[in-house]
Structures are given as C-alpha cells and as structure tokens.
Amino acid sequence: MKLVPLGDKIVLKQCEAEETTKSGIVLPGQAQEKPQQAEVIAVGPGGMVDGKEVTMLVSEGDKVIYSKYAGTTVELDGEEYIIVRQNDVLAIVK
C-alpha cells in the first residue's frame, strides 16, 4: 500500500532525530523537540489548486524543512507520515 497525494500535496516521512549540541553532547531522539526535517516520499501532480496553477518543485527522496504547524499526520501500515502542501515546504536541504 502507498499514498498517492492529490494536487499540491506532498507525503513526508520525518527524519530520525539524533543530534549533537554545539558543546558536543549527543541527545537521543526522545529527549528533544522533533526536528522539522523530513524526507519526501511522494509528490502530487500539481496543476490547478484552488484556482491557481502550481508547479511542483520538490522530488521524491529530497530532504526538506517544512513549516512547524503545517501538515496532517497519517498512519499507514504502522508507519507515520506527514502530508503537507508544497507551500509549507520552506527549503530543500542539500
């Protein structure tokens, strides 16, 4: 089973959080705020959305930063995904 997003929607999968603070301490995933970094799993076709032409600018596999309060969390086959509109993707991490 897979998610096929409509219009300008994008299916994301949140990256595992494990990062090192500036002073070098490693914080395990649970002890910190979830990062807003995610991997693009599926991209909608774009086209006319809300009466406006939208061109999709991200691709499957991109690592992206998305807007904090955006998106809907869904669960499929025990995996958690976030579906956002492309406008809520702020930047691609390269």
* 25-84 positions binding a second copy, by CB under 8 A: 35-37, 42, 47-55, 57-58, 65, 67-68, 72, 74-76, 78, 83
| Shortest distance (Å) from residue 13 CB to a second copy | 13
User: How many residues interact with a second copy (rule CB under 8 A)?
Assistant: 45
Question: Which two tokens mark 66?
Answer: 């998305």
Asked if 38 and 12 touch (Cβ cutoff 8 Å), the reply is: yes
Residue 87 Cα to chain centre, angstroms: 11
Among 20, 26, 30, 31, binds a second copy (CB under 8 A): 20
In the complex with a second copy, the residue whose CB is nearer, 7 or 14, is 7
Asked if 87 interacts with a second copy (CB under 8 A), we say yes
Residue 87 phi/psi, 5-degree rounding, is -60, -20
Is residue 86 helix, strand or coil?
helix
